[in-house]
Amino acid sequence: MLSFFKRANLTLHPLAQKLFKLMEQKQSNLSVALDVTKKQALLDLADRIGPEICVLKTHIDILEDYTPDVSVELKRLAHKHQFYLFEDRKFADIGNTVSLQYEKGIYRIAEWADLVNAHIVPGPGIIEGLKQVGKPLGRGLLLLAEMSSAGALTDSAYAKKAVAMAEEHSDFVLGFISQRKLSDNPGMIHFTPGVKMHEGKDALGQRYITVEEAICQRKTDVVIVGRDITGASDPLAAAKMYRSAAWECSNKAHAFS
């Protein structure tokens, strides 16, 4: 597997280039999912864990006390600690609607989120709608090609369609949410959620694989870890542990290429 640094030169997507370089400089291929419902908790965790991560993933609509200064603060912290912001909005509607959901409304996602993601169920119009808003701002899109949850309908034929759609729109799409490496295009970045220190599941259908399984065996690039970090007694220590485990695995994968 090529190093992230080499892959930065093999994509024309400006945000993918920047993200690859940041991962290499920061030696981090860890993304944390900060699924908390109070803004202060979100910002405190972002400030503490920021030095360990390449991407901070939010679900901004679960905050009970959202005010527009949250996104201003998130941007400040992203600059301070050098990470990118990924709003896990999972758009899933027709192009016109998603472009409004992305740009307008209370959250004004396009103003602050470097990355967003979308389901491909509606067809390529969803990508076109998001691209109209996001591309002029230098943003990037991840396609949900495979989900981590039990019984997901994202079988291999579906994932293949996601890869084909990504190739058609590689000026805006820079990768996937998936459970394995799906594309041989070195510019495409694979993000894998449903990661824990031990395999298992939660009570609502989430399934977990290990960092080792995700990166060494399944050759993905970035692991997304949520509750195993946010619910730890020491979230910073947990983030450090995941960061070094993930980086070590990707170094091994690069060495054996």
Residues forming the active site:
90, 93
User: Using CB under 6 A as the criterion, what x/- string covers residues 125-154 for binding ligand S5P?
Assistant: ----------------------xxx-----
Binding flag, residue 37, ligand S5P (CB under 6 A): no
Nearer to ligand S5P, 134 or 194 (CB): 194
- Report the residue from 193, 213, 220, 222 that binds ligand S5P according to the rule CB under 6 A: 193
Beta carbons within 10 angstroms of residue 251's beta carbon = 14
Binding flag, residue 88, ligand S5P (CB under 6 A): yes
Least distance in angstroms from the C-beta of 18 to ligand S5P: 21
Least distance in angstroms from the C-beta of 10 to ligand S5P: 25
Please identify the residue of the shown chain whose CB is closest to the bound ligand S5P. 226
- Report the residue from 1, 21, 35, 248 that binds ligand S5P according to the rule CB under 6 A: 35
Who contacts 86 (Cβ-Cβ below 8 Å, separation ≥6)?
31, 55, 56, 57, 58, 113, 114, 115, 116, 117, 142
Nearer to ligand S5P, 33 or 162 (CB): 33
- Report the residue from 56, 194, 215, 221 that binds ligand S5P according to the rule CB under 6 A: 194
Binding flag, residue 224, ligand S5P (CB under 6 A): yes
Binding flag, residue 207, ligand S5P (CB under 6 A): no
Binding flag, residue 177, ligand S5P (CB under 6 A): yes
Instruction: With contacts defined by CB under 6 A, name the span among 20-28, 46-54, 101-109, 221-229 that binds ligand S5P.
Output: 221-229
Nearer to ligand S5P, 130 or 147 (CB): 147
Residues that bind ligand S5P (CB under 6 A): 33, 35, 59, 88, 147-149, 177, 193-194, 206, 224-227
